Chain A
Amino acid sequence: MKQILILSGKGGTGKTTVAAGLAHLASAEASLVLADADVDASNLELVLHPELEETTPFEGGVKAVIDPARCTCCGRCAEVCRFEAVIDGEDAYAVDAVACEGCAACHYQCPAEAIAMVPTQAGEWYRSRTPWGVLFHARLFPGEENSGKLVATVKQNANLWALRHKANYLLVDGPPGIGCPVIAATAGTQLALLVTEPSMSGLHDLERILGTVAHFGVKAAVIVNKWDLKPARAAEIEAFCRDRGISLIGRIPYDDAVTRAMVSGDPVTAVTDGPVTAELRRIWRTVATILAE
């Protein structure tokens, strides 16, 4: 079983469009398990017609709660908290649950033993059936911590399912950025597909995500989305990839069909046989070849 992860650094470059298209194309010739590792903006489910089969609560971590009856207002909690999460009150201190990182320093330091660490449900993860494979996805409750831990949970369960059902591929739609959820998504990946766009920002962020996957020893290939919107910038990206010895395996043209597919809630490849679909088909063949090596 091979694991493919779609990343970008910069958001909104077309990760989910590529993921859904590849899922649709690849499922015709191989068995797939799918995962959406963008747990605070999970969009893959919007284009894969998922039928929900299982929901599991995700316990993110703990948060401090101060018992006002025991609080003596000594202020030790506010003194030790480095996250500005303790709110000074008149009769008792209180904890701002959004700011609390659950470190428990206040809990251990409170001389009145007035602070409890309470587990919080930070989200849910789901297993759904789609026409193109079983999808593991999740929702981090807005503002919660531990997105990396939820990404790891989604991926572990997708991985187990893929191994148990002898799937050929696990295809993971990743989060934007280069930080904790991206690092969590990278674990166990054989090939990272880096989707970028022909702009200065696209190139700048491509360089950062490429550095990140290289840091974790993951092989990468680049896809330029909407490359014809600015061919000169696309050429810069090609030159950059050549310099770094990274294969550029796809140039997806701009096409309104992508937005139309998003509106109808389908993978773009399932609703049009135009140039975007042709290029995604070519990309999938290249990916399969790279992974077979």
Chain B
Amino acid sequence: MIISVASGKGGTGKTTVAVGLALSLLECPPLDVASVTLIDCDVEAPNAALFLRPSLGPEETVDLLVPQVDAEACTLCGRCAEVCQYHALAVVGDKVLVFEDLCHGCGSCTLICPESAISEVPHRIGTVARGRVGSMRFVHGHLDIGRPMAVPIIRQARRGAADEEGVVVLDAPPGAACPAVASMRGADFVLLVTESTPFGLHDLQAALQVARDELGIPVGVVINRDGIGDDGVDRFCAAEGVPILLRIPFERRIAEAYADGVPITQTVPELREAFLGLYDSVREAVS
């Protein structure tokens, strides 16, 4: 089962919940959970490793296949630039220029070139590392500084996860655009972490639209820093029929432990039961 932990608004506690859930399942495994994997899909700002301190294997580089034009064979017909939807190729003078950072690696130019003058070469955009935290499998990805495209790194980090027996927890990036979609797509359940403030509610609505309405995945809400703000999230969830599966109180000791990279289940051991209860609700909703 794949559980994606997403949010809309940043900084609501996705990593806290993903790490808390994964560790609870690891330390007190329910009978149906054969293994636990955590994949940090927030490749722009990956923080799960700060809490889990995994032992990691060597970094794999993530490459996008970008076009390389053989100047000998090229007739400057411009067909490649014409079909490229991302303006990553341009014929200038007697040359075809390639703008790697605009290329999505779709391969359309290579297929269309009448002279077969285009080959594809790897262009590094980031890394993925795989490792372990005890018996838990751990994966995270890093987008290289200055590179725009996060989605291929998320895809590579998730590779193989669908075949995984047991529970796979995905720590998604904030927002409701393509990196968030890539971290929710194919999940069996999406946990939406929010806080009970107008910002939390506004962005929860966007994330809910992606997860439930666009992708058709069952969802539940976790309210973090419960007690601050107002009751807007509660009223919204009641009106939409979205279950609130867990409330994490607003306490200084939780904030301090977070600051030091201490998992929440270590600071508030009672929460382990709550995370296991959360998993039960998810399993029931999925089956």
Contact = CB atoms under 8 A, between A and B. Distances in A.
A290 interface: no
A109 interface: yes
A177 B107 CA distance: 27
B17 to A, nearest CB: 13
B107 A178 contact: no
A167 interface: no
A98 interface: yes
A105 B45 contact: no
A180 B176 contact: no
Interface residues of B, number: 60
A98 B143 contact: no
A200 B259 CA distance: 6
Contact of B12 (A12, A61, A181): A12
A230 B259 contact: yes
B164 interface: no
B197 A12 contact: no
The interface residues of chain A, by DSSP majority, are classed as loop
Contacts of B85: 61-62, 102-104, 117
Nearest to A214: B145
Interface string A133-174: 000000010111101100000000000000000000000000
B249 to A, nearest CB: 15
Given A62-B85, A109-B111, A10 B47 contact: yes
A183 interface: yes
Interface in A54-100: 61-62, 80, 82-83, 98-99
Contact of A211 (B145, B209, B230): B145
Interface stretch (A259-267, A270-278, A280-288): A259-267
A46 B202 contact: yes
Contact of A16 (B50, B146, B199): B199
Interface string B233-265: 000000000000000000010011011110000
B111 A201 contact: no
Contact of B112 (A11, A108, A211, A233): A108
Given A40-B176, A263-B229, A98 B10 contact: no
Contacts of B261: 199-201
Interface of A: 8-13, 16, 38-43, 46, 61-62, 80, 82-83, 98-99, 101-105, 108-109, 117, 140, 142-145, 147-148, 175-183, 197-202, 204-205, 208, 211-212, 215-216, 229-230, 233, 256, 259, 262-263, 265
Ordered nearest first, which 6 A-B pairs have the shortest CB separation? A11-B10, A12-B11, A103-B106, A177-B44, A105-B108, A180-B148
Interface of B: 8-12, 15, 42, 44-45, 47, 50, 83, 85-86, 104-108, 111-112, 143, 145-150, 173-181, 185, 197-199, 202-203, 206-207, 209-210, 213-215, 228-230, 252, 255-256, 258-261
